[in-house]
């Protein structure tokens, strides 16, 4: 699942770079909603990784393990803010 998410992240970076040179509402929607779905998948993947590492590692550090979920939550929040700001512009 990690490889698929990494490819999705590469695609999201590609869409953001293309939208810098050729701005369109369709690319912006792909970036906003695709990023929301992608980071939702990252939350699931990181949760599975934390559980696996907690069961397998001899020395488990929960703070370092949970940092990835914290960063995913920040990214999801940013994408929600972009979606809400875009909806206010339409009104």
pLDDT in tens, 2-11: 889 899 989 9
The CA distance from 48 to 68, in Å, is 12
Q: What is the pLDDT of residue 2?
A: 81
Give how far the C-alpha of residue 35 lies from the chain's centroid of Cα atoms, to the nearest Å.
5
Domain range annotation of the chain: 2-90
Please state the pTM of the whole predicted model. 0.81
Q: Could you read off the pLDDT of 25-50 as tens digits, one per residue?
A: 888 888 888 889 999 999 999 999 99
- CA torsion angle for 42, 47, 50, 52 (degrees, to 10)? -110
| Inter-residue contact 31 to 15 (CB < 8 Å) | yes
* pLDDT the model gives residue 84: 87
């Amino acid at each position: 699942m990690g490889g698929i998410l990494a490819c999705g992240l590469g695609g999201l970076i590609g869409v953001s770079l293309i939208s810098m040179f050729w701005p369109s509402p369709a690319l912006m929607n792909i970036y906003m909603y695709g990023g929301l779905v992608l980071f939702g998948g990252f939350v699931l993947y990181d949760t599975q990784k934390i559980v696996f590492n907690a069961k397998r590692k001899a020395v488990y550090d929960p703070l370092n393990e949970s940092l990835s979920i914290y960063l995913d939550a920040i990214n999801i929040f940013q994408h929600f803010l972009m979606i809400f700001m875009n909806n206010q512009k339409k009104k």
